[in-house]
A and B are shown apart, each in its own frame.
Chain A
Amino acid sequence: MSTRASGGSSLERVYGLLLFLYPPGFRNEYGQELRRTFSDWYRVRQAGTAGLLVFLGEVLLDLARSVPHQWAGALRRYRSSHDLLEDDRRPPYAAAFIAGLLVFVLYVVTLAPSIGFWDSGEYTAVAHTLGIPHPPGSSLFVLLAHLWEVVLAPTGLTPVVSINLFSAFLSAGSHALWFLVVDRVLAGTIEDRKVRWIGAAAAVALSATAFTVWNQSNVSEKVYAVSFFTSALVSWLILRWRDTGCGLRRLVTIVFVVALTATNHLMGVLVVPALAAFVVLVDRRALKRPTFWLVALPVVALALSTQLLLPLRAAQDPILAEGQPECASIVGAVQSIYTWGASGCDALSAVLSRDQYGKPPLLLDPTLYPAKQAPRSAELIGLQLLNYLQYFDWQWGRGLAGADPLFGGMRPALTVLFVLLGLFGARTNWKADRETAIYMGTLFLTLSLGLVGYLNFRYGFAIAWDRFPAVSMHEVRERDYFFVIGFSVWGLWAGIGLVALWSRMAGIARAKVPVPRLATSPVLALAVIPLALNWSWASRADDFAARDFAYNALMSVEPYGVLVTNGDNDTFPLWYLQEVEGLRRDVTVMVSEYLNTSWYVKQLRQLTEPCPAGVDPDATPTRIVCQRAMKPGDLPLPLARAGWLQATEPPPDSIFPLSDEEIETIAGSYFVTDSPMTLRAGDIEATIASGTYLAPADTFVATMLRSTLGERPVHFMPGSSIVSTLGIEDYAIRQGLTWKIHNGPLPDDSEDGVVRIENSQLSAIAGAAIDLPLTDTLLWDVYIRRGRILKQDAPWADAASSGIPRQYAYAHYVAGETHARAGERSEMDRHLRRAAWWWQVAAN
């Protein structure tokens, strides 16, 4: 034998990595010795290549023999150590997995096949393109959902289905964890393991089918599925922390998860009061140990670094980057992240601290803020609580008198039943295990009353209209989703209450006659009431309404057109269609809400820049490069026949020929006109009335019109206040679902089918005129109408978005009335029937 020292270090490193094949216990105990022995062994190997090969063969043989052996031993030891415990004290992981799987199946069966309204289109688009959604940016959601979509890509599922499944998966996972939590809670009062499992299953069933929980789990409309999962995860981990001796490692893991979920949304951090109460009750010294803080603080820093995605990605000009949180330096970015927006890089700080929402202080009345700083009155607080109770009432039987959103029909009676069950569950929890009862109670209170106090909403979307008729004093939509985790927790308590009730009934019955426990089991059927009564309202199966609306709206816009939209529902679905399905990217969707910011205008400026020779924006479709080309294949045949294919050349200029300084100046400019102003754009001349309040959005749209009218078609979604502010109503021609601004005075009723609307009331929805042939083509031959809405008994579950079906109704109504003026009765009847149909869809 000869001694060899050179070249060994790299092999030793490789061997060090191979040691990870061993079980951790063995590796920790003997890893150092193994490495040392390996080095010794290596030094005395035979010389030469042959010697080295023999040596490596022996090493591999040794690993092949010993690794399986060690794992077998580790598993044996694990099993025998657990066998030493009481069998029914082991967490029922398999049963929890099955419970989670069943919940997942339910969510898959009722899964949205495409996007929903509100934020669904936005989140799907940003997940797909690795973009940046509205503040607080939700970097963790974007990363995870994008990764999830990539992982599922080989399955052939569409991106939107994959991303909806992400929500379903997380929610189902949360319920698997809840199963473990409830089983553990019940362990303090029910000895029979199977009865505990029934209790845990009932709790999971009630939580998973509570209306908002269900309705938010079968689509990715919000990022709360991530918050929900982390909340359930840390709830389980903190119980394990207690049950396994209050070790440092598990506590630090919990800290990590909580810090990580903060990079998704602060909703997930709301478990902290419950965690703190629990830790103080169980082992308050845990928080006093310097070791804990020494380990926890770097772990928090590591988790929060996820937020670096925002400035890093923003610097790449993603196609969707709300707030454009770009930073000049990494130092500024880091400062923003670790001060949570209190200092550092302005753009990132604004996103992290959600500046754009201008949330009123907790003690002020949000219905009057910021115009008036009135205190938050008792009446307002009462109505905020009523709003919460309204949502609570939805959870257990939304389908009962569903059309009445406020305590309709027999629904309150059912709600009282579930309140009582939940209270009984809380009492059972208290008797079984006070520490977990305090944990669950704190969690529920934080996520119900605590949130009501913190969120400080305006009047609910469906309440107090008689006393407060101003639209601005109400929320724009129902906000039940904010309370989703709290409803879930109440469902758990109700399930615990139900199994306790069952046990008590069985006990009473058996005291009188010797009957098996099974005899009283029908009471458990209460656990499926929400499943039955919520199904039609919570299910999103076969719902294409939002996706098809996006298609129909975008197809209403002529090639290279600009479409000015009003808000979430007529914008986010369009983003989805363009950025995920890749349709009609030539259209510039311009949401007026964001036009009061400079970052958005700069993005649109770049997005509509003519492309330099040789630059193809489709080569990097997830980034803003320049004006994207119209693809003839995007246009359905009727529009191609209507001559839309003739406009195949992109416009020569950006819609915003402004410098950065000019954009910044306009973005900060709010003023009231002191005399009539004339807006000249293309061939139109409009008058902005004296005393008109002009926000930056109005000025930017006026700038856009001046620069681009005549070069690009300009459309508005009907009802846009900017149209009336700028005084251009007289140039608006209805074209399907949109108004198109005519470049010049309207022609007299002409052969090309543009018909003036004489009825002033009708013109409020119609515009000044209607392009009747084109509107007919769009409404009958281009627009898609399919799926759930075709069933007349399917409820339109979200009243706040019912304006969308009404848009169709208006379009048909205007077209019908115009045909009527021409004496075309059959066409009139056809349109009016369809208008009535859409109206019914909205009213369902």
Chain B
Amino acid sequence: MTRTLDDPKALVPLSEAVFQILLSLADEDRHGYGIIQEVGERTDGRLRLGPGTLYGAIKRLRGQGLIEEVEADWRAADDERRRYYHLTALGRELATLEARRLERLLMGARQKKLLPQRGMA
């Protein structure tokens, strides 16, 4: 049973794993292993999602209506048995909320000169 959230703000802040999964689906629908690969590459191998962790998160995100499973359509010829996941509008909104939250944190750190200002080496 899928129960969508009334207010995605209630889920912020997100765990890093969840945020990274949402990010990996932001530009493209992916299957499970595709998500692991993309997250691994984007984080330079720092975050390695295991299958159990990944699908546990997928199950939860689907339950919250943040991602959904999509038909394999054209990918079928490539890999017909895989299940692909798509970021829903709600999921995108939540990922954006989290990104903004992180951005604000980042700005604060810059103001306090913990990090260099944008554009500075």
Closest residue to B83 on the A side, CB-wise?
A33
A61 in contact with B50 given A41-B33, A41-B36 (CB within 8 Å): yes
The reply to whether the CB of B58 lies closer than 8 angstroms to some CB of chain A is yes
Please state if B53 and A37 are interface contacts (CB–CB under 8 Å).
no
Q: Which of A10-39 contact B (CB under 8 A)?
A: 22, 26, 29-30, 32-34, 36-38
CB distance from B73 to the nearest CB of A (A): 18
CB distance from A52 to the nearest CB of B (A): 16
Please state if B81 and A65 are interface contacts (CB–CB under 8 Å).
no
Q: Please classify how large the interface on chain B is, using the bins under 10, 10 to 19, 20 to 34, 35 or more.
A: 10 to 19
Please state if A33 and B52 are interface contacts (CB–CB under 8 Å).
no
CB distance from B22 to the nearest CB of A (A): 18
The reply to whether the CB of B13 lies closer than 8 angstroms to some CB of chain A is no
Closest residue to B49 on the A side, CB-wise?
A62
CB distance from A37 to the nearest CB of B (A): 4
Residues of chain B with a CB closer than 8 A to A41's CB: 33, 36, 50-51
Residues of chain A with a CB closer than 8 A to B32's CB: 33, 36-37
CB distance from B86 to the nearest CB of A (A): 15
Q: Which of B6-44 contact A (CB under 8 A)?
A: 32-33, 36
Which of A22, A66, A70 interacts with B50 by CB under 8 Å?
Answer: A66
**B77-113 vs A: 1/0 string, CB under 8 Å?**
0000111000000000000000000000000000000
Residues of chain A with a CB closer than 8 A to B83's CB: 33
Please state if A69 and B56 are interface contacts (CB–CB under 8 Å).
yes
A34 in contact with B55 given A59-B50, A65-B50, A66-B50 (CB within 8 Å): yes
Residues of chain A with a CB closer than 8 A to B52's CB: 22, 34, 62-63, 65-67, 70
- Residue among B33, B60, B83 with max Cβ neighbours from chain A (10 Å): B33
Which of A26, A37, A70 interacts with B36 by CB under 8 Å?
Answer: A37
Please state if B59 and A62 are interface contacts (CB–CB under 8 Å).
no
Please state if B51 and A38 are interface contacts (CB–CB under 8 Å).
yes
Closest residue to A37 on the B side, CB-wise?
B51
Which of B33, B58, B82 interacts with A30 by CB under 8 Å?
Answer: B58
**B41-76 vs A: 1/0 string, CB under 8 Å?**
000000010111111101110000000000000000
Complex Cα–Cα for A56 and B67 (A): 30
Please state if A37 and B60 are interface contacts (CB–CB under 8 Å).
no
CB distance from B51 to the nearest CB of A (A): 4
Q: Please classify how large the interface on chain A is, using the bins under 10, 10 to 19, 20 to 34, 35 or more.
A: 20 to 34
Residues of chain A with a CB closer than 8 A to B59's CB: 26, 29-30
Closest residue to B45 on the A side, CB-wise?
A1
Which of A29, A36, A65, A67 interacts with B82 by CB under 8 Å?
Answer: A36
Which of B33, B36, B53 interacts with A66 by CB under 8 Å?
Answer: B53
The reply to whether the CB of A636 lies closer than 8 angstroms to some CB of chain B is no
Complex Cα–Cα for A26 and B50 (A): 15
- Residue among B50, B60, B82 with max Cβ neighbours from chain A (10 Å): B50
**SS class, residues of chain B in contact with chain A:** helix
Residues of chain B with a CB closer than 8 A to A34's CB: 51-52, 55
Complex Cα–Cα for A485 and B9 (A): 61
Complex Cα–Cα for A32 and B80 (A): 13
Residues of chain B with a CB closer than 8 A to A65's CB: 50, 52-53
Q: Which of A36-81 contact B (CB under 8 A)?
A: 36-38, 40-41, 58-59, 61-63, 65-67, 69-70, 73
Please state if A66 and B48 are interface contacts (CB–CB under 8 Å).
no
Closest residue to A22 on the B side, CB-wise?
B52
Complex Cα–Cα for A663 and B58 (A): 75
Q: Which of A440-476 contact B (CB under 8 A)?
A: none
Which of A62, A69, A70 interacts with B51 by CB under 8 Å?
Answer: A62
Complex Cα–Cα for A30 and B60 (A): 12
- Residue among A22, A65, A66, A67 with max Cβ neighbours from chain B (10 Å): A66
Residues of chain A with a CB closer than 8 A to B54's CB: 37
Complex Cα–Cα for A277 and B55 (A): 46
Closest residue to A18 on the B side, CB-wise?
B52
Residues of chain B with a CB closer than 8 A to A66's CB: 50, 52-53, 55-56
CB distance from A28 to the nearest CB of B (A): 12
Residues of chain B with a CB closer than 8 A to A67's CB: 52
Complex Cα–Cα for A37 and B32 (A): 7
- Residue among A37, A38, A58, A66 with max Cβ neighbours from chain B (10 Å): A37
Complex Cα–Cα for A66 and B51 (A): 9
Please state if B55 and A62 are interface contacts (CB–CB under 8 Å).
no
Which of A40, A63, A73 interacts with B60 by CB under 8 Å?
Answer: A73
CB distance from B89 to the nearest CB of A (A): 24
CB distance from B40 to the nearest CB of A (A): 10
CB distance from B81 to the nearest CB of A (A): 7
- Residue among B52, B54, B81 with max Cβ neighbours from chain A (10 Å): B52
Complex Cα–Cα for A657 and B10 (A): 91
A36 in contact with B81 given A29-B59, A30-B59, A69-B56 (CB within 8 Å): yes
Please state if A58 and B50 are interface contacts (CB–CB under 8 Å).
yes
Closest residue to A32 on the B side, CB-wise?
B81
Complex Cα–Cα for A367 and B77 (A): 80
Please state if A58 and B56 are interface contacts (CB–CB under 8 Å).
no
Complex Cα–Cα for A66 and B55 (A): 9
Complex Cα–Cα for A65 and B57 (A): 12
Residues of chain A with a CB closer than 8 A to B58's CB: 30
Please state if B55 and A40 are interface contacts (CB–CB under 8 Å).
no
A30 in contact with B81 given A37-B33, A41-B33, A58-B50 (CB within 8 Å): no
Residues of chain A with a CB closer than 8 A to B48's CB: 58
CB distance from B11 to the nearest CB of A (A): 16
Please state if A62 and B60 are interface contacts (CB–CB under 8 Å).
no
Complex Cα–Cα for A196 and B36 (A): 54
Complex Cα–Cα for A38 and B32 (A): 10
Residues of chain A with a CB closer than 8 A to B33's CB: 36-37, 40-41
CB distance from A77 to the nearest CB of B (A): 9
Residues of chain A with a CB closer than 8 A to B50's CB: 41, 58-59, 61-63, 65-66
CB distance from A210 to the nearest CB of B (A): 47
CB distance from B60 to the nearest CB of A (A): 7
CB distance from A786 to the nearest CB of B (A): 63
CB distance from B29 to the nearest CB of A (A): 15
CB distance from B72 to the nearest CB of A (A): 13
Please state if B81 and A70 are interface contacts (CB–CB under 8 Å).
no
CB distance from A23 to the nearest CB of B (A): 11
Complex Cα–Cα for A33 and B60 (A): 15
Complex Cα–Cα for A841 and B60 (A): 73
CB distance from A471 to the nearest CB of B (A): 71
Binding site for A on B (CB under 8 A): 32-33, 36, 48, 50-56, 58-60, 81-83
Query: With A22-B52, A36-B32, A40-B33 given, can you name 19 additional A-B contacts, CB distance below 8 Å?
Result: A26-B55, A26-B59, A33-B32, A33-B51, A34-B52, A36-B81, A36-B82, A37-B33, A38-B51, A41-B33, A58-B48, A62-B51, A62-B52, A63-B52, A65-B52, A66-B50, A66-B56, A73-B56, A73-B60
**Nearest 5 CB-CB pairings of A with B:** A62-B50, A66-B52, A37-B51, A40-B33, A30-B55
Please list 22 pairs of residues, one from A and one from B, whose beta carbons are closer than 8 Å in the complex, sorted by A's number: A26-B59, A30-B58, A33-B51, A33-B55, A33-B83, A34-B51, A34-B52, A36-B32, A36-B33, A36-B82, A37-B54, A41-B33, A41-B36, A41-B50, A58-B50, A59-B50, A62-B50, A62-B53, A63-B50, A66-B52, A67-B52, A70-B52
Binding site for B on A (CB under 8 A): 22, 26, 29-30, 32-34, 36-38, 40-41, 58-59, 61-63, 65-67, 69-70, 73
